[in-house]
Structure formats: C-alpha cells, structure tokens
Amino acid sequence: MKELIQKILGKRLFDKLYFSRQICNKLYRKDKSLYIIKLAKCFFITKVYKEKEKGKSLKKLFSKVSLDEYSKNDKFYYSLDVLKTVYRENMILGNITVDYSKILNNSLLDLKKLVENNKVEEKFYENELETIEGIEILIDRIIKFLTNHNVDEKIIENFKNIKQGNAKSFYEALQRILFFNQLLWQTSHTLNGLGRLDIMLYGYYENDIKQGVITKEEARELIKEFMLTLHKYYYFKSNVLMGDTGQIIELGGKGVNGNYQYNELTYMFIEELKKINVPDPKILLRVSKDVPKDLIEKSLECIQTGIGCPLFANDDVIIPKLIDFGYKKEDAYNYGTSACWEPYIIGKSLDANNISGLVFIKPFQNLIENEKLTNITNKKQLIELYKKYAKEYVDNLIKTINSEKWERDPILSLLTDECIKRNQDISQGGAIYNNYGLTGVGLSNLVNSIMNIDEFVFRNKEYTFSELNEIRKQNFENNDELLKKLKGQTAKYGTDNEEVIQLSNDIIKIMSNEIEKYKNPLGGRYKFGLSSPNYISSGKNLKASFDGRKNGEPFGVHISCDSSNAYTELIQFASKLNYGENRFNGNVVDFFISPNFISDNFAKFTDFLMASIKIGFFEMQMNVVSSATLIEARKNPDKFPNLIVRVWGFSAYFKDLPDEYKDYIIERALKSESNS
C-alpha cells in the first residue's frame, strides 16, 4: 500500500504527506477531534524544505519559521514552528545530549572562525557555514520581533550576545540553552537531553550572587520558569507516548578527582521541579556512596509527590564500566544520559543508545518452535541450545541495524567535539565515539521460564517438556492451577537466589559474547542493557511463555519482581548482575511503592536508599501511587487531570497514556500492594 501511494503521489508529495501525518498525530493529541480535516490542513500548510545541501535547507528553514507570540510575563523567549521542517531521507540522530557549555563559552562568531580555520572538505565547510548563517538570520528575526513588541531589553540583549560574545550571566546562560534546545527540536531531533546543568551553570550563578545581579530567590524563579519553558510544546515534543520527550536534567555526580560534586543549584532544581509538579522535564540525580544524605531526602520528597523524579544513577558502578569499555576517564566522569537512562558521553559522541530493542526471550521462542523437545533433558543442555539461537538472532538483528544510514547533520556536527577539526559530519563518523546501543527486554520472562521448565520438567517430572509446551501453545486455557504454580515460584528473577542470579548472568554473558563480535558501519562497538521501553510493544508480538505470561501480554519491567515487595532483596539481586564489558546501556531497578509506605517510613526509606547505593545498584526509579487512585483515575480521568505516573524512563500524565499502559500500571500497583 505504501509503495502504491508513493507511486501515485510521487516522492516529494509522499514525503510531505508522511511529515504532515506525523505533525497531525501530535496536534491530534492536543485536540482529539476531526482527524481527517486536521490531516488535510496539515498537508496544505506544512513546509518541508529541501535544497541540494543540508546547510542551505536549514538556512531556508530558519528564515521562514513563524515566531510564537510573547507574553509579558514570560522570562524567556522560546518558539517552535511545528509545521515547518527540513526534508530527511535517512535516520536522524535523537536520544542525545549536546554539550551546552560549548555554546555558553563560544559565540556564533567563534564557531564560524573555528569552521573557517579548519577548512578541508568543501561540502562539510559549506554546510556548517550555511547553518551558522541560518541561525544568525533566526536570531536577527527574533530580535526584530521582540523589539517591535516592546519586550524587556534584557531578553533582547541575551539574543544579541549569542552572535558576538560568551554568556555573561545566569539569566543569559539559561536563555542561550533554551535557544539552542529550540534549534534541535525545530530541526526534527527528538528526545533532547539538557546535561549537567548544576555543574555547568554554577559559575554564572555564583558570580551573579556575589555581584548582586540576582538574589537566590530570583535564581529560583528563573529555574522554575526555565523548566516551565521546556515543558512548552509538551504535546509536540513527546515521541511515541505523551511525556516521552527525553528532556533529562542531570544533577550531581563524581568528579575526576573522585569527590562528589554538588552545589546550591542541585537542590534548587529538585525543589523547583517538586513545586511546579509537571511530568516534563525530568531529573536524573547521579549518586555515589558520598552523596549527602539531605540530597537524597530532598530527592525522596520530590519522588513522594508521584512525579517519578529523580531517577538515580550510581556513579560508583557506572563510571568504571564506561572506562573499561574504552571511554576516556575525563569523558566517563562527565557522562550524561540518552533519553531515559542510557549513559551517554556528552558532546563527544554519536552513540545511538536506543537504536533497537534486544528481546532476550525471542531466541528461546525460536528454540522451542524448532527443536525436538524430547531430546532436551536438562537445563544445561537447554542453555547450550539457547546460545545457538541467540547467535542467529543477534546476527539478523545487527544486519538490519547496520543497513540503516544517518542523515547529514550540520547542527549536531557544530555542537560535537572533533567534527569541525576533522571536517567530518557526525553522520559520517566525525565524533570521537560512534557506538550503538541496544535496550534489552524479556530477560525476566526468559529466566523464569527456564527455572519453571527445570522445576516441573527436569527435576520433579510433573510434565514432559512436550506436554508443558502444548499447554503453553494453547495459551494455558483451562489450566489456571498450572498458571498459578508457574507464576508463584519463589526462586525467580529479582530474588536473591544464587541459582537465579547465576542463570541471569549466564544469559547476559551469552548475549554479550554474541554482540561483541560486531561493529557498526562507523567502526563503533555495540553495547546493551537490561532495561527497555518495549515491554508492552515487544510482548504483543510473542506467544505465551513458560513463566505464565499469556499470548501478547507485556514482558517484565526493567529489573523488577512482581511477586516480592522486599526492596532489599531486589537490590541485592540487582547488585549481583554483571554490568561489565558491553552490558551497561541502562540497567534500572524499578520499584512500585504506595505513597503511605514512604510517608510512614521516610527516615528508614532514606537509609535504605543510602545503603542501596553502597550495595551497588546501577540505576533506580520509583512509581509512587496507590492502586485505588489509579483505578479511580481510569474510570474518571476528568477528576485526575494532573495525576503523574512513571512510564519506561519518563513521567507522564496518567490520562494521556494508552489504555494498555494504564491497565498495566494498575496491575503492577495491585501486585505491589498485595505483596506488601
């Protein structure tokens, strides 16, 4: 059908229709009425600019985008024209965090001189200069627009200075970050992170406080307005699901000297996010054994509201893994995140950490469908066969990924170290690091399936393997008692059981060995993690599994355990998983907690978090909401317009989620409470 439509319309019109549909889908989120009329309107008024070179296309885009109205109460100016973009034939990089310090410490003039002084490859040179000139045109248009609307002169000066000078104040630095963030969204980059803002901005803040330029309360107000400005266009920025924006602010973290770094801004960002109580932007707090206890308390107070932030990333575990993989020490200590949780080297990498999903149980399903089960007599033999099918699965997966191409990207090349020096676009390998990352799902279902087969087939011999498989193939129909036994095993993924931990690590090692054999087209390596956003979508495509999961049901969420609410046990389990070599691409312990549990045990829970950091989890996030609230909100969404829940690695309004996600979140809440 797609090919037929493309043939009828021609490639140019088809591409416009494709983009128009994307925009229409996002506009429809805002106003769910008259979809066909919206689509027709989008098709006629959207503009997709396509010149011979990407730089020229960007320059034309920046000269044509409409500018949003300015409210006299706004502290910042931030404008996106959602109906205009640049044509792209290939994949465009997303899930990124640019190094905003680069544009705080350099003017556009500085960047232009850098490009001119490193001229080697003509096409790269022209693309970068055209892009810079386009940005200058947009700045001039904004300045003229703001001047005509009698806007505060400070805001106008902030824009003027982008062209000629470094950022001079805390206020100007925040506006400059917003402007370049705006450029990324305007040019179809998605899931754009913000970086380590407390570390990056502290010098400006400290100087302004000393000089009496601003007070601490004024700084707080600017932080609040900065985050609310980022929340603007929430419906447009959201990717697959509402709330999935990737707008992560990283705070805290170890410095290269080993000391834990934090400052007043670390606290302010957390406190102001708690006050505004919106699901976006999000905060990731880098922690270590030296993190101050009161910073964990502040974080827990924020999490307790149900906002789902901060997510904790454990530097004591993560940084050594980054260094072992091959990242330079100073880069590893300055890591940020791609979208939800995958460690990312800020400003120096193409690293596509979300390029595809890795479904651990898929090779096992292929095994079950193709092997003669009567020949399999023990767990060891089963795992050896899994290796064979994992090899085939990984080979097919990576061949598909490696066939994809990246779009030329002058914007990111301008903001990424080495691209200008090398005269090489980021899409062609201009960055220092060019690795690909896979996000893993279905490991818990696989581990529990193998444990159940071992228990009921190989050890107790209650069923033959073929008999158990026939019941599974029938989706466990009329076998409720068996389902209960399969789901009720005490030794399962997420429990501090040596056999389970060993099995989990064995499977992880199998995947690690297979993935390590491959390079991507840019010469980078592959890495993977145990957390993925695909636990519902990937589950839809697979038949029932031996853990008691029925046809199409979701996979387990990240590193979690439905049958146990012993948080300490889950932490012990997570700390014993092997995240070394290439296995560090996001490994999130995921808790579901009732609000009363935290409020009634705040001091103890704080101590638990402090101890958990030392025990050694990789990352951790929490959903804090009761099943009763969720069920009522499911029935009467208008009564709970601002109810926020944690989904994947982001937070979202519960009312905005598809029904299948609402139902799964309610199911997890009920299980958590029944096990408490």
* Closest C-alpha among 115, 41, 580, 20 to residue 322: 580
Asked if pLDDT for residue 564 goes beyond 70, the answer is: no
pTM: 0.95
Average pLDDT over residues 233-253: 94
Give the pair of three-digit tokens for residue 476.
């466990």
Q: What is the pLDDT of residue 384?
A: 97
Average pLDDT over residues 550-579: 90
Asked if pLDDT for residue 8 goes beyond 70, the answer is: no
Q: What is the pLDDT of residue 566?
A: 79
Distances (CA, A) of 199 to 175, 269, 323, 383, 573: 17, 12, 21, 47, 33
Q: Which residue has the higher pLDDT, 28 or 349?
A: 349
Asked if pLDDT for residue 474 goes beyond 70, the answer is: yes
Q: Which residue has the higher pLDDT, 26 or 57?
A: 57
Asked if pLDDT for residue 468 goes beyond 80, the answer is: yes
CA–CA separation, 402 and 289 (whole Å): 40
Give the pair of three-digit tokens for residue 541.
């495509």
Average pLDDT over residues 374-385: 96
Instruction: Give the CB-side neighbour count of residue 157, counting CA atoms within 13 A.
Output: 8
Q: What is the pLDDT of residue 5?
A: 62
- Range of weakest confidence among 34-38, 240-244, 493-497, 586-590: 34-38
Per-residue confidence band for 675, with pLDDT thresholds at 50, 70 and 90? low
Q: Which residue has the higher pLDDT, 14 or 257?
A: 257
Q: What is the pLDDT of residue 562?
A: 77
428: Cβ–Cβ under 8 A, 6 or more apart, which residues?
406, 408, 522
Average pLDDT over residues 345-351: 96
Q: What is the pLDDT of residue 4?
A: 64
* Closest C-alpha among 130, 126, 132 to residue 106: 132
Asked if pLDDT for residue 3 goes beyond 70, the answer is: no
DSSP H helices in 403-497: 410-414, 419-422, 443-453, 465-473, 480-487
Per-residue confidence band for 25, with pLDDT thresholds at 50, 70 and 90? confident
CA–CA separation, 350 and 95 (whole Å): 10
Per-residue confidence band for 164, with pLDDT thresholds at 50, 70 and 90? very high
Asked if pLDDT for residue 271 goes beyond 80, the answer is: yes
